[in-house]
Amino acid sequence: MEVLKTIKEMKAVSAQARRMGKTIAFVPTMGFFHEGHLSLMREGRRRGDLLVVSLFVNPTQFAPHEDFKNYPRNFGRDCQMAEEVGVDILFAPEVEEMYPPDHQTYVQVEKVTQNLCGKSRPTHFRGVTTVVLMLFEIVTPHVAIFGEKDYQQLVTIRQMARDLHMGVEVVGMPTVREADGLAMSSRNTYLLPEERKAALSLSRSLQRAKELLQKGEQGSRILDEMKKILQSEPFVRTDYIQLCDAYTLEEVDRIEGDVVVALAAYLGKTRLIDNLVYRNPKASRPIAQKDSVKD
Ligand code: AMP
């Protein structure tokens, strides 16, 4: 595995791979790897001749009061883990490389960023799409792999790739969980033991939602049941729980198509998100058709 720090070197490697007719698979990350990240890399390994992973804690997706400074970092361990799953290139630029002092261009996806996390983190997705657009320009991937764990991010990137005719296939991968159900996240490391225990109520409430969806229950009943589970935990402060159309991310009550049940909650100072994507057997269009973003 090669570690590249400059845009110039990264562009040279991707240009050469393209000249040789290689397929470039790309996994953008903020590092502090866990099995969730590794599952995306393994999928990238299957799909690409050249597998590029970026490791960049992107300052523009954090609000001033958020955890950019304290975000967990362990470069040595990350390099070792990436190497073990067969990553070819780890692109790890410094902040100044990506954002020189006169940077002033941002890209904003409009509708799908408004609801859910967009409400409590109004500048977050603008930062995400800006850095992902830059990374796509630098790495020039044929296929880019993202986790469903950050479902709104996945939908937003798909929308951007489609809207800007980027010709990048955006692939979503299922959420990887700890044995007890907690969705893996680099931020889990912030949790105190009692918060870690209470955090299980997030996945438990989604599990309950899944049972109710399978029984054909409607939205308000499902959300009420979930709230009961979350409210029974004194350490959990709910930011939002919503049932949304899986593609537009607009809130729905009647469940007619594919839906996502998404939630965010604070455990002390730590904000965690989790979701459940429910592919409705009664949905009119097959999911593959809606998922496709290939130009
Ligand atoms: P991050 O480093 O947290 O920005 O995440 C980088 C990529 O890994 C994103 O596409 C995330 O959605 C994905 N990811 C993070 N956690 C998980 C997880 N538990 N399972 C699957 N993918 C994940």
Strand order in the sheet with 270-278: 236-245, 259-267, 270-278
pLDDT digits (tens, 9 = 90+) for 103-140: 999 999 999 999 999 999 999 999 999 999 999 999 99
User: What was the pLDDT predicted at 58?
Assistant: 98
273 DSSP β-pair partners: 264
Spatial distance between the Cα atoms of 186 and 38, rounded to a whole number of angstroms: 13
Choice from 29, 30, 37 to test ligand 1 binding pocket (greatest atom count within 8 A of CB): 37
Cα 196 to Cα 216, 231, 267, 272: the distances in Å are 32, 16, 8, 11
pLDDT digits (tens, 9 = 90+) for 183-234: 999 999 999 999 999 999 999 999 999 999 999 999 999 999 999 999 999 9
Query: Would strands 270-278 and 259-267 be described as parallel, antiparallel, or unpaired?
Result: antiparallel
Q: Which atom of ligand 1 is nearest to the CA of 186?
A: 3
Name the pLDDT band for 289 (thresholds 50, 70, 90).
very low
Q: Which residue has the tokens 């990436």?
A: 82
Query: What percent of the chain stands above pLDDT 70?
Result: 96
Spatial distance between the Cα atoms of 39 and 37, rounded to a whole number of angstroms: 5
Residue 89 CB contacts under 8 Å (≥ 6 apart), including other chains: 1, 2, 3, 4, 10, 13, 50, 51, 52, 53
Distance 176 CA to ligand 1 centre (A): 9
Please state whether the predicted TM-score (pTM) of the whole model is above 0.85: yes
Amino acid identity for residue 104 in this structure: Q
Name the pLDDT band for 280 (thresholds 50, 70, 90).
confident
Name the pLDDT band for 283 (thresholds 50, 70, 90).
confident
**In the Cβ-directed half-sphere of 253, how many Cα atoms lie within 13 Å?**
3
CB 261 within 8 A of CB 209: yes
Spatial distance between the Cα atoms of 209 and 251, rounded to a whole number of angstroms: 15
Check pLDDT > 50 for residue 250.
Answer: yes
Mean pLDDT, all residues of the chain: 95
Q: Is the CB of 36 under 6 A from ligand 1?
A: yes
